[in-house]
């Protein structure tokens, strides 16, 4: 099927002059003087009289056709065919108590692991000097500690997604603390499996060991593999002692060394089962590098339709307009001529 377009569509406004051209052509002088119109009114109208409007109509149509010709109708000949297919991505973020460890540094300031994660994911979604962002992708957010919560459904409204991400905080209630990796991943799989996107990815980030929830992480990985969902896993921080803020005398916040552990074997097994990869980030710079690498691995397929050559159709329309003018002039001077 041909794809028509107009090079200068504003010239179509000139077609509004066609009725004026018809009206002026009908008012051209041409009449016979009678002492009385009584005989003319009683006489039947001849074929010539009934068709007398045709020359004027031909001129009006010619004006409309010339307006279309000026607009530059054309069809594309050579094209590059394309499609644009986004990816559905679920970000699965640990916000358990261990994520408050202050072993990540941004500039000269130590920040907790969750703040570093939020900043990196923000650049992943919105883009930065290191990448264009994910404007074409559906992205959702799942957070987990002892329980998993679907905070944002898969959406292209990345402004609201990032606003929700900014509000994510580390759990403070002991009853809510824990690390339910399996439940967090299972909830992400449930969200992704319903989406019709051809490519589905989960990015799972944690700094701990699965110690809560009713779903084993490897069972969740099997679910992901069954629905062809690729899982990239990220272990944040090191196994060992890390500075953790605690409340001190007088309401002050002190840093105290606490033991934290990452179950790298499980995270690696999840990635291998689903065709993803495991990454280990020990600081904020390393975490940013990991996410940039994932960004390069999972890119949307983007192609476009571009017309490289065009066939112009104005010449044939000008020919039609000239033919109408010629026929109108011929008819007006012969069979449909008007007496002066």
Cβ(236)–Cβ(205) below 8 Å: yes
Cβ(36)–Cβ(42) below 8 Å: no
Cβ(89)–Cβ(203) below 8 Å: yes
Cβ(50)–Cβ(277) below 8 Å: no
Ranges assigned E (strand) in the chain:
4-6, 73-76, 79-80, 84-85, 88-94, 104-106, 109-111, 138-144, 148-155, 200-206, 229-236, 240-247, 253-260, 278-281, 301-302, 306-307, 310-312
Among left, alpha and beta (phi > 0; psi -120 to 50; other), residue 240 is left
Instruction: Extract the tokens encoding 203.
Output: 């990015």
| Predicted TM-score (pTM) above 0.75 | no
Q: What angle do CA 85, 90, 92 make, to 5 degrees?
A: 160
Q: Which residues pair with 89 in a beta bridge?
A: 139, 201
CA dihedral 133, 203, 120, 259 (to 10 degrees): 180
Residue whose pair of structure tokens reads 């074929």 in the numeric block: 47
Q: What is residue 20's three-state secondary structure? A: helix
> What burial letters (b/e) apply to 173-192, b meaning 16+ CB within 10 Å?
eeeebbbbbbbbbbbbbbbb
What domains are defined for the chain? 4-79+310-333 (no CATH), 84-302 (3.40.50.410)
Residue whose pair of structure tokens reads 């068709």 in the numeric block: 51
Cβ(325)–Cβ(332) below 8 Å: no
Q: What is residue 306's three-state secondary structure? A: strand
Q: Are strands 240-247 and 104-106 parallel, antiparallel or unpaired?
A: unpaired
Reported as half-sphere exposure (CB side, CA atoms, 13 A), residue 182 has a value of 14
Measured distance CA(141)–CA(122) in Å, rounded: 12
pLDDT reported for residue 60: 80
> Residue 265 is inside which H or E element, if any?
helix 264-274
pLDDT reported for residue 148: 95
Residue whose pair of structure tokens reads 């002088």 in the numeric block: 29
Task: Select from 263, 287, 268, 182 the least CA-distant residue to 224.
Answer: 182
CA-CA distances (angstroms) from residue 107 to 100, 135, 288?
Answer: 18, 28, 13
pLDDT reported for residue 302: 47
Measured distance CA(161)–CA(198) in Å, rounded: 22
- Each of the 340 residues of the chain gets a pLDDT tens digit; together they read 456 778 788 888 888 888 888 788 777 655 555 555 555 555 566 666 666 777 778 788 888 888 888 888 887 666 555 555 678 999 999 999 889 888 776 666 678 889 989 988 998 898 877 677 888 889 999 999 999 999 999 998 999 999 999 999 999 898 999 999 999 999 999 999 988 888 899 999 998 899 999 999 999 999 999 999 999 999 988 877 777 776 666 666 667 777 778 899 999 999 999 999 999 988 788 888 888 888 887 765 545 455 456 778 878 888 888 888 888 777 777 766 665 5
DSSP designation for 84: E
CA-CA distances (angstroms) from residue 163 to 142, 170, 184, 240?
Answer: 14, 16, 20, 33
């Amino acid at each position: 099927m041909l794809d028509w377009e107009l090079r200068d569509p504003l010239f179509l406004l000139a077609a509004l002059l066609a009725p004026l051209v018809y009206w002026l052509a009908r008012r051209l002088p041409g009449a016979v003087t009678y002492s009385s119109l009584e005989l003319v009114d009683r006489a039947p109208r001849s074929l010539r009289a009934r068709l007398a409007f045709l020359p004027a109509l031909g001129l009006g149509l010619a004006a409309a056709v010339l307006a279309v010709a000026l607009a530059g109708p054309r069809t594309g000949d050579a094209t590059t065919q394309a499609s644009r297919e986004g990816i559905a991505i679920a970000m699965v973020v640990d916000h358990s108590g261990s994520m408050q460890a202050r072993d990540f540094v941004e500039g000269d300031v130590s920040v907790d692991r969750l703040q570093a994660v939020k900043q990196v994911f923000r650049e992943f979604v919105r883009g930065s000097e290191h990448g264009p962002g994910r404007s074409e992708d559906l992205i959702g957010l799942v957070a987990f500690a002892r329980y998993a919560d679907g905070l944002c459904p898969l959406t292209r409204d990345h402004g609201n997604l990032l606003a929700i991400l900014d509000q994510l905080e580390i759990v403070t209630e002991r009853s809510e603390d824990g690390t339910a990796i399996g439940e967090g991943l299972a909830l992400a799989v449930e969200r992704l499996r319903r989406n019709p996107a051809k490519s589905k990815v989960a990015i799972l980030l944690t700094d701990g060991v699965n110690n809560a929830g009713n779903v084993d992480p490897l069972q969740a990985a099997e679910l992901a593999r069954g629905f062809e969902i690729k899982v990239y896993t990220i272990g944040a921080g090191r196994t060992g002692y890390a500075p953790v803020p605690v409340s001190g005398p007088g309401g002050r916040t002190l840093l105290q060394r606490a033991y934290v552990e990452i179950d790298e074997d499980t995270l690696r097994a999840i990635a291998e089962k689903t065709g993803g990869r495991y990454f280990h980030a020990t600081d904020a710079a390393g975490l940013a590098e990991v996410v940039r690498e994932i960004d390069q691995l999972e890119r949307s397929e983007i192609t476009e339709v571009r017309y490289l050559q065009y066939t112009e159709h104005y010449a044939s329309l000008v020919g039609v307009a000239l033919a109408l003018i010629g026929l109108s002039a011929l008819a007006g001077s012969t069979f449909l001529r008007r007496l002066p």
